[in-house]
Structure 1
Amino acid sequence: MELIHGTTQKASKLAPEDFITDMPDIIITNILDRLPIQDAMRTSILARNWRSKWTLLSQLVFDRDFCDLLETRDEDNPFNVISRIILRLKGAIVKFDLTIDDLLDVEDMNNEDFNNLILLLSRKGVKDLTSDNEHDIELEFPTHLFSCLELKHLKLRHCCFNPPPTFHGFPNLLSLDLCVVAFEKKFELGEFFTRCPLLENLAMDDISDWEKIKLDGIAKLENLKILSLRFCDDYETSTSSGIIFQLLDSLPKLQELQLDFEECRLTKGGANKRFPTVFLSLKFLKLSRISLDNGVMFSCAYELLSTCPNLLYLEITTDNSNAELVFTPRVEYDIILPLRLRRVVFQCFNGSENELRFIEILLANSPVLDKIQICFRSVLTSDEKLMFTLELLKFHRISPVAEIKLF
């Protein structure tokens, strides 16, 4: 009995006191990165060995909850708090996400503090940077941003984006998301793209002057697979549908395309005649706030279908709010090549003649379509919905394979 007891006692001495604390740093970091930053820092009170575990953090998300916490503690300068946290971290920062809301006021904040913050990030080898500015005032980004050469993902909202003359590009950048971003007049966005050779995902919201973007520069983005654009035309500028097709022609690897036409004055060009190129790689197409009762937009949407035979998923959200652009021409279109569409989502269906015609074309040329989901516009009455439902059910005879769901 003594021998057994002695063996047991010896084994207990060899057993670790705390298997969680003894986990490798990479696993602890993985756990801490999944917690809100304030909770990750609170782990310092768990035990003596955990006092500095939070400094292993590699992902920092400073959101509204964090700002609310600072406000309860009457912190005068949130940027100083954030900077002190960064200085305490032991390793590189993989992800940094900053929400600039009411507490982090653009008007009141010290530019020097913000400059120092970005400088610290550049020295920490940040790879994923998001700045979400919710104010109307554009945030002037310091030039230190363009020293973050290890960046793989960059997302900026409501800021000024002005690379210095010495900037040679982001050699590792994979995704770029620019929303309401201002550029200097002399800044060539197309030239900037050529300096990001690995770019695969590009999203641009509120493009005020699409004509200034050099198509030959974008054409050099050979790895671009996902493109999302929201056009923003004013009374003096407009977007030509031909530019859209020229852009697609320059991106042979593009698989996903999202176009938002909310503030777009689309003009004729390329969509009124069959475009010679066939875009074989495109699998996903999303057209937002497009008016199919506008002849040019209808033709553009139809031409996109006819030139993308390998399309698998199509989503259309209509918007007929711009009355001065709305008219309903009766145009007979040639039968397009059979599509490989498997699913179609049609949002804000208004029941116009052109919308019904477009759905008819889809069903007639999609032999392997599994499901088409149609969501009525909320302002339609029950009688109108019933009438359009009966019209849509007639199309089921065209493509009996497809499952039609109405909402």
Structure 2
Amino acid sequence: MLIDGLWMSICQSLWLFIPSICVYFMINTFILVRIMEFIHGTHKAPQDFITNMPDNVVTNILDRLPVQHAVRTSILSRNWRFKWTMLSQLVFDEMFFKYLRKSEGKNNHGGVISRLLLHLSGAITKFVLCIDNVLDAEDINHWILFLSRKGIKDLTIRNRDETPLMLPTHLFSCLELKHVHLFNCCFNPPPTFHGFLNLLSLDLCVDFEENVQLGEFFTKCPLLEILTIDDRSQVGKVNVVEIAKIKNLKVLSLQFCDLDNSIFELVGSLPKLQELHLDFEDYDLIEGGDGKRFSATFPCLKVLKLSRICLGGDTELSYAFELIRSFTNLQTLEITVTNDWYVGPPPHINYDATGLLQLRSVKFECLKGSENELCLIKFLLACSPFLKKIVIHSHPYIASDERMMFAKKLLMLHRASPAAEIDIFQF
């Protein structure tokens, strides 16, 4: 019995850490328990801990499996025939639809999802839907209405069709939502919207209607901590005043073209902001703006990520420098350079170490080994006495000899931190 108890303890631990093999493991455990009973010659069968597991444990296991595998647990035994109906997290992603195409051989995917939802018995806390052209908008409306009555807390809708999805008004009646991710949808809350009082994170890559008042929407989400906005429609730029109303905001991700130089004004109005992500895609900084200096400091900001920024020109390099220098308490810096091969004249910026940075970690993606990039790294090394590592992924088209030359130049730079390491990899 000691061996039996030990085996049961090991099995229960494995279920928590290796959910992807739970179904197969359960079947093997059934067989092993019966073999051990036969070997020991006991007339009293050991406790069937799989059958007698609490419902919350079963739900936790099933939620960690792909939906199609969770449903297949019905073949384990008579007692497990309807266990899958306790699912509380549903992920209908590309792998799910690939499975349907292979097994069903037809495009009745909406009907399959509808029948599955009708069999579920408890609350549904997470719902992920990747939409393609085989799903009907009316079915999606019915699913959102169904979820609004099931206590949904985490909702992701990714529309891969060319036409943006018109969000049903039922979405804005899901008052228990904590996390929302919407991609390629039309965002237009109805006048009767009273707010998501529990919302913590909001990720919008959507088309905003012209009459949408984001400021009013944000005031109805008082707990919002993480905000990502990508205005695909480009109807109206993001207003600094509107975002500044989110006093609880800790992580902000925006396209830089929506804010221009007002980013410093915005950060200064968000007392709890700790992470800032800026995407520079399709944006050209105004020439002559590189001479502007910002006197304000922002002590709370710890993480800065700059995506698709062109460091080949003096203007954007100068702006990156001003961002980093203004956020003096940064601990993590990540910069992804654009694929643009433009290389401007050598920078005319005084990169002196007049102030010290608190950087611990720096990461560059897609570097080309230009003098401008080298200048920025030189500044970071000289002003960061606590720096532990700089990770550099070079552009895949950089020749090996050019990458070697760039590495030699980096090794010759002065480091304020004796512990700072530089790792260079090919992207």
Q: TM-score normalised to the size of structure 1?
A: 0.87
Q: Give the match for residue 412 of structure 2.
A: 394
Task: Evaluate the alpha carbon distance shift between residue 358 and residue 133 of structure 1 in structure 2; reply closer, same or farther with a 3 A threshold.
Answer: same
For residues 410 and 41 of structure 2, what CA distance do their matches in structure 1 show? 78
Task: Evaluate the alpha carbon distance shift between residue 303 and residue 247 of structure 1 in structure 2; reply closer, same or farther with a 3 A threshold.
Answer: same
For residues 418 and 107 of structure 2, what CA distance do their matches in structure 1 show? 66
Task: Evaluate the alpha carbon distance shift between residue 298 and residue 239 of structure 1 in structure 2; reply closer, same or farther with a 3 A threshold.
Answer: farther
CA shift, 1:268, in A, is: 6.7
In the alignment, is the contact (CA less than 8 A) between 2:357 and 2:384 conserved in 1? yes
For residues 80 and 349 of structure 1, what CA distance do their matches in structure 2 show? 48
Residues 193-208 of structure 1 mapped to structure 2, 5 A cutoff: 193-206=218-231
Q: Give the match for residue 331 of structure 1.
A: 349
In the alignment, is the contact (CA less than 8 A) between 2:381 and 2:415 conserved in 1? no
Amino acid across the alignment from 1:61: V
In the alignment, is the contact (CA less than 8 A) between 1:271 and 1:300 conserved in 2? yes
Matched, 1:369 2:384: no
For residues 210 and 344 of structure 1, what CA distance do their matches in structure 2 show? 35
Which residue, 107, 112, 122 being the options, matches 2:148? 122
Q: Give the match for residue 129 of structure 2.
A: 98
Identity among equivalent pairs (%): 56
What RMSD, in angstroms, separates the aligned Cα atoms of the two structures?
A: 2.6
Which residue, 245, 265, 278 being the options, matches 1:259? 278
Structure 1 gaps, min length 5: 1-7, 232-237
Q: How many residues align?
A: 385
For residues 248 and 326 of structure 1, what CA distance do their matches in structure 2 show? 30
Amino acid across the alignment from 2:143: L
| Structure 1 stretch displaced more, 39-48 or 149-158 | 39-48
Matched, 1:183 2:208: yes
For residues 192 and 172 of structure 2, what CA distance do their matches in structure 1 show? 9
Task: Evaluate the alpha carbon distance shift between residue 10 and residue 315 of structure 1 in structure 2; reply closer, same or farther with a 3 A threshold.
Answer: closer
Residues 2-401 of structure 1 mapped to structure 2, 5 A cutoff: 12=44, 16=47, 18-71=48-101, 72-101=103-132, 103-104=134-135, 109=136, 111-179=137-205, 181-206=206-231, 209=234, 212-231=237-256, 241-267=260-286, 272-319=291-338, 321=340, 323=342, 326=344, 328-396=346-414, 399-401=417-419
Give SS of 2:229's match. Answer: strand
Give SS of 1:300's match. Answer: helix
Structure 2 gaps, min length 5: 1-39
For residues 330 and 374 of structure 2, what CA distance do their matches in structure 1 show? 20
Amino acid across the alignment from 1:384: E
Give SS of 1:97's match. Answer: strand
CA shift, 1:283, in A, is: 1.2
For residues 35 and 213 of structure 1, what CA distance do their matches in structure 2 show? 39
Amino acid across the alignment from 1:140: M
Give SS of 1:391's match. Answer: helix
For residues 283 and 235 of structure 2, what CA distance do their matches in structure 1 show? 11
Amino acid across the alignment from 1:43: T
For residues 235 and 416 of structure 2, what CA distance do their matches in structure 1 show? 40
In the alignment, is the contact (CA less than 8 A) between 1:245 and 1:270 conserved in 2? no
Amino acid across the alignment from 2:411: L
CA shift, 1:223, in A, is: 1.6
Q: TM-score normalised to the size of structure 2?
A: 0.83
Task: Evaluate the alpha carbon distance shift between residue 251 and residue 268 of structure 1 in structure 2; reply closer, same or farther with a 3 A threshold.
Answer: farther
Task: Evaluate the alpha carbon distance shift between residue 53 and residue 320 of structure 1 in structure 2; reply closer, same or farther with a 3 A threshold.
Answer: closer
Amino acid across the alignment from 1:99: C
CA shift, 1:36, in A, is: 1.0
